[in-house]
Amino acid sequence: MSTRPSDKALHRTVATNVLVIGSGAAGLRAAIAAHEAGCDVVVIGKRQAKDAHTVLAAGGINAALATVDRADSWEQHFADTVREGYFLSDPRTVELMAREAPAAVLELAEWGAPFARTPQGTLDQRFFGAHTYRRTCYAGDFTGRAVLHALVDRAAALRIPIHEHQYVWRLLVHDGQCFGAAAFDLHTGERTVYQADAVVLCTGGHTRLWRRSSSRRDENTGDGLYLALQAGAALTDMELVQFHPTGMLVPEEIAGTLVTEAVRGEGGRLFNAMGERFMARYDPERMELSTRDRVALANYTEILEGRGGPHGGVFLDVTHIGRDAIIQKLPRMYRQFLEWQMLDISTQPMEVAPTAHYSMGGIVVDPDSHGTAVRGLYAAGEVAAGLHGANRLGGNSLAETVVFGRRAGEHAAAHSHSLGAQPRSQRAIGAAHQDLDSLLKEGTELARPLQRALRNTMWADCGVVRTETRLRSALSRIRELQDSARRLDVRPSSEGFGDLAHALDLRASLVAAEATVIGALSRTESRGAHQRADYPELDPDLRVNLRISRSTGGTLVVESRPAPETPAYLHKRITETRAVSVAGRLLE
């Protein structure tokens, strides 16, 4: 890595072989892989390294290690994932995740992630919804923190630099090849042009676009989706957004905060206000451990039909588990409810409702390399598509970050080694500066209220259940907000460049929202997380992926492609899964 002042003193320049954007689990795993492949690597992120969004992950990470349920296998993990994703996943992506997750999780344990262990010393595994066997490794209910900190420590041991508080506003592309990114410091505004042979985008999802969301402020605003589209890559299945069934409702400032699936994994039961254990009506076999889409729709329906509690939620009860088990296995949940509601979950039920949680769609990538349509540009983690289909199984996302983070890092390094000369373009760098300069101006609108309006629109009109009328209303509101966003007032203040970051968050969010609504309008069926009241049935002819790209005129265009077929030898396991699933539950 070398640093030098630029000729025009407009920015500083940092040159490296592989640039990783995002310091969550996917980004750090990519950086470690690229470093181990002999490359200089720099990681940048808009928050502190140990506070990337991954830190929120709670319940666990999947790997068919069969330490608890001996019959488990990577093939069964594959079958559960494809089947519960309603056959929209890319089978090769799922196969790689299921095959490689065991080694990836053992490696994390070796690097210091403090996963729970069985009395025999092997990694313990818990049930997560719709998995045939117990295959979710965990560290209490702070698994994400355990994984992230192990990766940060590993990156530090390898002396991989992590540049914090760097906001990337543009990928640098010349002649179809990505050669870096432009970022500014959130505190000082100093601009840095990161020049690199290859770039790995690991910027997370876009679920902060909904009013109730399990993400925190200023994260998951769809930045990577915007950057990739703008650079010439394509998105797919943006309408497939997972609503987690159980988010907190009060107080308002934390509405949507996750109540982890581990609560149901540890035996939590759902009741409506009449005291009925209503999952018996929606999925009598799997009850609370049904898939997230089914439990979310069940909760939504109970609330909509007037069987909700005082805050408009249903009740999640763990009082029968006992205080000691709760404190040992669900310590964060215990604290979360005491702190925010003064509620002791060992004696009283929690009131919960669906919350926007995970982006199953994202950037189109090659399953093996996670390369995009732009040469030298890779993507991994939540920002990439292909693994989850129409419904993500809990615990698969953390597995995805480390399996495909490593793959993307290795392929980015191989791309760097293969280059004879590094492509660079002053014109592309100049255009990036102009882009940012054009935002810094006086205006009549502020980003925060527009972002709030967008979140309300997405919640009301593109939420758990959708209709054409509401989606059309969402689209026209988004277009109005895009118009208002042209009149933003953006000025640096004594507190830093937060205004500029909010303006960029809004720009990305509006594009991600538009892509989501366009996808939702095109998918005229109900499948997994995408529920249409006007098309309540699954349409077998719509086993398609909906790809979105920018036309030369700049508008978003959608194209339907048949979802890839599962190889015959794996398909057999899927058809057998139902029987195994029921037998598997008896092992508990």
Ligand X SMILES: Cc1cc2nc3c(=O)[nH]c(=O)nc-3n(C[C@H](O)[C@H](O)[C@H](O)COP(=O)(O)OP(=O)(O)OC[C@H]3O[C@@H](n4cnc5c(N)ncnc54)[C@H](O)[C@@H]3O)c2cc1C
Binding residues for ligand X (CB under 6 A): 21-27, 44-47, 52-54, 56-61, 143-144, 166-168, 202-204, 214-215, 223-224, 258, 358, 381-382, 394-398, 401
User: How near is the Cβ of 20 to ligand X at its closest, in Å?
Assistant: 9
Distance CA 303, CA 454 (A): 24
Q: Is the CB of residue 324 less than 8 Å from the CB of residue 300?
A: no
Task: Identify which of residues 163 and 323 has a Cβ nearer to ligand X in the complex.
Answer: 163
Catalytic residue chosen out of the listed positions 53, 135, 264, 406: 264
User: How near is the Cβ of 501 to ligand X at its closest, in Å?
Assistant: 8
Helix axes 498-522, 426-439, angle to 10 degrees: 100
Residue 115: helix, strand or coil by DSSP? coil
Task: Identify which of residues 60 and 376 has a Cβ nearer to ligand X in the complex.
Answer: 60
User: How near is the Cβ of 182 to ligand X at its closest, in Å?
Assistant: 10
Task: Identify which of residues 272 and 509 has a Cβ nearer to ligand X in the complex.
Answer: 509
User: How near is the Cβ of 229 to ligand X at its closest, in Å?
Assistant: 13
Cite the beta strand spans of 272-392 per DSSP E.
Answer: 314-317, 350-359, 362-363, 377-379
Give the chain's radius of gyration (CA, Å).
Answer: 23
Distance CA 497, CA 298 (A): 43
With tokens 């086993």, the residue in question is: 543
Task: Identify which of residues 46 and 415 has a Cβ nearer to ligand X in the complex.
Answer: 46
Q: How many CB atoms lie within 10 A of CB 483?
A: 10
User: How near is the Cβ of 198 to ligand X at its closest, in Å?
Assistant: 17
Token pair for 394:
């809990």
DSSP state of 133: S
Per DSSP, helices labelled H in 71-111 are 74-84, 91-110
Residue 414: helix, strand or coil by DSSP? helix
Residue 483 neighbours by CB under 8 Å, 6+ apart: none
Task: Identify which of residues 27 and 409 has a Cβ nearer to ligand X in the complex.
Answer: 27
User: How near is the Cβ of 223 to ligand X at its closest, in Å?
Assistant: 4
Distance CA 262, CA 121 (A): 21
Residue 9 neighbours by CB under 8 Å, 6+ apart: none
Residue 355: helix, strand or coil by DSSP? strand
User: How near is the Cβ of 470 to ligand X at its closest, in Å?
Assistant: 25
Distance CA 449, CA 249 (A): 22
Token pair for 96:
């790689």
77 is catalytic: no
244 is catalytic: yes
User: How near is the Cβ of 258 to ligand X at its closest, in Å?
Assistant: 4
DSSP state of 493: B
Catalytic residue chosen out of the listed positions 35, 135, 212, 244: 244
Residue 547: helix, strand or coil by DSSP? strand
Task: Identify which of residues 201 and 558 has a Cβ nearer to ligand X in the complex.
Answer: 201
Q: Is the CB of residue 245 less than 8 Å from the CB of residue 212?
A: no
Active site residues: 244, 264
